[in-house]
Structures are given as structure tokens and as C-alpha cells.
């Protein structure tokens, strides 16, 4: 779960480190990495759709991203000048439900806002919500070669792949995009081959589903984002959750759903 907001003027790495000091009991592991690039995406009738772009800007404010990690390494909170992210990483078989992850995000978002308010920063202006699910399907489970992938996800390919004599298919990589108009949002589905970090390593199919949308409705006016509330953010995250689980349910075979561990109520 990620929320992008307008970066407060004067916010720097020292403030990020001070915020970690308030969270170090529950998130004792910390490291500094390169920031996630600012995402610029046009929705609705504001312009013709194009893939998300990156914004480059000159600034005197040093920038980095802090990754604050729980002792069991399952939960990560990432914070930078214009973004807050909560990640769950599989370190056990216990899968967190959407509602519990959203609760964790809400708590962290409130703590981050309160921390900045205590330092006399102005209220944050949220711009873009984002939700991502990454599904890893190992080669030993359901497939022997990439030519088996259409059988796992018939909603993406819709049939058998053409074979060429004297050659073997080594991989498939692509992106599918769906758009919602009410509420306004966009869903990206991307699959690619990968190599796991397990010992021994194995070939895996990674299927990522990312939903993204504006925090404030497009017809709410230019200055409406100044009064964006947690209800608007929650509405966006719920929209993203619905888009992701519904689309996965429609593109995946029953075997793929079983390996993915889809819950009966699409959570």
C-alpha cells in the first residue's frame, strides 16, 4: 500500500531518521536506499492516456528512502519526502488479510502526519493511492516452460501459443492495462519470468497487479485535495483491492488460484 503526497518544503533525511527513532521498537531494522521516483499519471478526460511517467526536478532538498523493517522481516514501512509505503513480505505461511494491512497503513499514516505536525510542517496533501499484489508461482508447482503460462492465466492469453520448429520458448513478458471510470482508477497486470533467491534457486513466474488512482475525484476542483480525508484514501484503496482480486479471479485458472491461495471471499 502506497500513498504519494506533495513533499513538504524543508523535509529532509534528518527528519526521516527522527521518525524512525519513534518507530524503532516495532521496526528495529533500518536502511537508506534510493527514493521511488515520483509518479505522474493522467486520468479521465484530462488528456489522452499514456503510461505513467517519472517527474524530474531540481531541488536543494537531499532525498532518500528509509526502509524500516520488523524484527521478523515480514513488515516494512518505507518513507520518503513524497511517499509512504507499507509492505508485507512473505516470511511464513500466515497471509495477512487486506483489512489488517489497511489497518496497519492507517496507523502509520496517522503517526507520520502527527510527527510532521509536531515539527510545524503544514498538513500533507495526498495525491495518488497505489496498491500492489505480487504473486510468485514456482516452476515445480504448475508449469514446466513458459508455454504453459496461457493455461494458468487464460484470461491474459486466451489460447495456445504458436510453436516454432527448432526453437524453444524461453520466456514471456508483457503488461495489460484496465481502466475504471467510476471510481477513476487504473489497473496494471504484468507477468515476467524470474529467478528466486531460495537455496537452491528456482525459476518462478511473477504476476504483479498494481491499481492506482487519484485521491480526490477528478471533478472535485483544483483545490479540493487540500481537504482530502482518510475516507477518500480508504475509498481508493478499497477500489484498488476490488479491481485486483476481481481481475485475478477472472484471468486465472483454478489451479493458479489454488497455488496463489485465493480466499473464498476474494481477499
pLDDT digits (tens, 9 = 90+) for 204-241: 888 899 999 999 866 555 444 444 578 899 999 999 99
Q: Where are the alpha helices (DSSP H) in the chain?
A: 13-23, 98-118, 139-142, 149-152, 154-157, 230-251, 254-260
Contact in structure between 267 and 97 (CB atoms under 8 Å): yes
Contact in structure between 105 and 185 (CB atoms under 8 Å): no
Of how many residues is the chain composed? 267
Quote the pTM value: 0.85
Name residues of the chain where pLDDT drops below 50: 47, 222-227, 265-267
Contacts of 198 (CB under 8 A, 6+ apart): none
**Which residue ranges make up each domain of the chain?**
2-124, 131-260
Looking at residue 202, what is its pLDDT?
Answer: 84
Amino acid at each position: 500500500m502506497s500513498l504519494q503526497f506533495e513533499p513538504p518544503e524543508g523535509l529532509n533525511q534528518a527528519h526521516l531518521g527522527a521518525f524512525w527513532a519513534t518507530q524503532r521498537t516495532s521496526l528495529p531494522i533500518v536502511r537508506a536506499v534510493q527514493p521511488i521516483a515520483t509518479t505522474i499519471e493522467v486520468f479521465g478526460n484530462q488528456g489522452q492516456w499514456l503510461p505513467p511517467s517519472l517527474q524530474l526536478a531540481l531541488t536543494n532538498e537531499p532525498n532518500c528512502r528509509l526502509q524500516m523493517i520488523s524484527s521478523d522481516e515480514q513488515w516494512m514501512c518505507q518513507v520518503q519526502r513524497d511517499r509512504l509505503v507499507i509492505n508485507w513480505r512473505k516470511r511464513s505461511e500466515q497471509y495477512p488479510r487486506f483489512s489488517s494491512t489497511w489497518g496497519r497503513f492507517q496507523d502509520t499514516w496517522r503517526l507520520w502526519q502527527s510527527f510532521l505536525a509536531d515539527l510545524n510542517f503544514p498538513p500533507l496533501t495526498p495525491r495518488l493511492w497505489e496498491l500492489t499484489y505480487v504473486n510468485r508461482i514456482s516452476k515445480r508447482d504448475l508449469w514446466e516452460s513458459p508455454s504453459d503460462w496461457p493455461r494458468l492465466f487464460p484470461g491474459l492469453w486466451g489460447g495456445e501459443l504458436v510453436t516454432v520448429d527448432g526453437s524453444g520458448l524461453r520466456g514471456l513478458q508483457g503488461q495489460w492495462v484496465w481502466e475504471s471510470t467510476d471510481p477513476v482508477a487504473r489497473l496494471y497486470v504484468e507477468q515476467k519470468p524470474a529467478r528466486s533467491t531460495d537455496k537452491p534457486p528456482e525459476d518462478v513466474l511473477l504476476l504483479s497487479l498494481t491499481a492506482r488512482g487519484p485521491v480526490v475525484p477528478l471533478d472535485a476542483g483544483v483545490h479540493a485535495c487540500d481537504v482530502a480525508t482518510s475516507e477518500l484514501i480508504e475509498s481508493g484503496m478499497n477500489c484498488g483491492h476490488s479491481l485486483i482480486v476481481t481481475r485475478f479471479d477472472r484471468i486465472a485458472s483454478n489451479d493458479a488460484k489454488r497455488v496463489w491461495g485465493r480466499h473464498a471471499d476474494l481477499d
